[in-house]
Amino acid sequence: MRFPGKIALVTGASRGIGRATALAFAREGANVALGGLVGEDGEAVAAACREHGHEALWVPADLGDEGSIEVAVGQVAAAWGGIDVLVNNAGVYLKGTVTTTTLEQWEQLMRVNVTGAFLCARHVLPLMLARGGGSVVNVASEAGLVGLANQTAYNVSKAALVSLTQSMALDFAAGHVRVNCVCPGTTLTPLVQEAVAREADPEAALRRLGSVRPLDRLGRPEEIAEAILFLASDAASYATGAVLAVDGGYTAQ
């Protein structure tokens, strides 16, 4: 096991990439805290994590509210004494250009995608430093590496996560905290399935999303989870500030 006795906090863990990542940490020996909004079915994922023989804790939190995050991180620290791994995975998606995106939409997306990661790191990092080190993995997107049409706010938020990763990596290397970033390509998550279902021809939309990639398919949540666990593990002990594209070759074109 890669994380025996370690404590991992995964945000946005009730479904998709976050769910797959939480389950993967549990299989690899970690106690897993799952963060997400009130009302999400995180308890079911926590129960699935416990089936691997380790502890799991669902901690509802509004990732744009510092007080809520402080309470959630405090719950994890009170239960297990600290945090070794933070995965900033929670995020929302929005279509729109500069002229069609409202200010309210822009601010909401930034609040969750960027401010949420900043606030989680702000409250988790002191716990890691007190334990002598740790690992942070931010989940950005291929959209943070290249421009994608009609999703300006989302693109900018994910590019900000790449910059946040590199900035944190420099600031906390001396404290033995590694900070890295995974940039998934379009992955077959509930979020993507919901977006595709709104298209006039969902099946054609799915084929189109896969066909623009050299590997000619969409990613699976479990594949992104494996990349996250690699960067969080001792196998990547010399990696900090790294930005790993896991996108079927899309950004290599």
* CATH code of the domain in which 35 resides: 3.40.50.720
User: Do 127 and 14 belong to one domain?
Assistant: yes
Sorted by sequence, the CB contacts under 8 Å of residue 167 that are 6+ apart come out as none
Sorted by sequence, the CB contacts under 8 Å of residue 201 that are 6+ apart come out as none
- The residues that bridge with 151 in the sheet, in sequence order, are 96
User: Do 105 and 194 belong to one domain?
Assistant: no
Instruction: Supply the range of the domain harboring residue 195.
Output: 187-218
Please list the ranges in the chain whose pLDDT falls under 50.
none
What gap in Å lies between CA 12 and CA 27, rounded to an integer? 18
Q: Under a CB-based contact definition with an 8 Å cutoff, are residues 10 and 21 in contact?
A: yes
Reduce the DSSP state of residue 77 to 3 states and report it.
Answer: helix
173-207 in b/e form (b: 16+ CB < 10 A) is eeeebbbbbbbbbbbbbebbeebbeeeeeeeebbe
Instruction: Indicate whether 52 belongs to any domain.
Output: yes
User: Do 80 and 194 belong to one domain?
Assistant: no
Domain count, the chain: 2
Which pLDDT score is estimated for 41?
85
Max intra-chain CA distance, the chain: 53
Which pLDDT score is estimated for 191?
80
Active site residue 93: no
User: Do 40 and 97 belong to one domain?
Assistant: yes
Instruction: Indicate whether 1 belongs to any domain.
Output: no
Which pLDDT score is estimated for 15?
94
Instruction: Indicate whether 129 belongs to any domain.
Output: yes
Tokens of 25: 């940490």
User: Do 55 and 130 belong to one domain?
Assistant: yes
Q: Under a CB-based contact definition with an 8 Å cutoff, are residues 207 and 145 in contact?
A: no
Q: Which residue in the list 93, 154, 238, 250 is annotated as catalytic?
A: 154
User: Do 138 and 203 belong to one domain?
Assistant: no
Sorted by sequence, the CB contacts under 8 Å of residue 246 that are 6+ apart come out as 182, 183, 184, 185, 219, 223, 224, 227
User: Do 117 and 156 belong to one domain?
Assistant: yes
Which pLDDT score is estimated for 38?
75
**Kind and range of the H or E element at 21?**
helix 16-27
User: Do 74 and 148 belong to one domain?
Assistant: yes
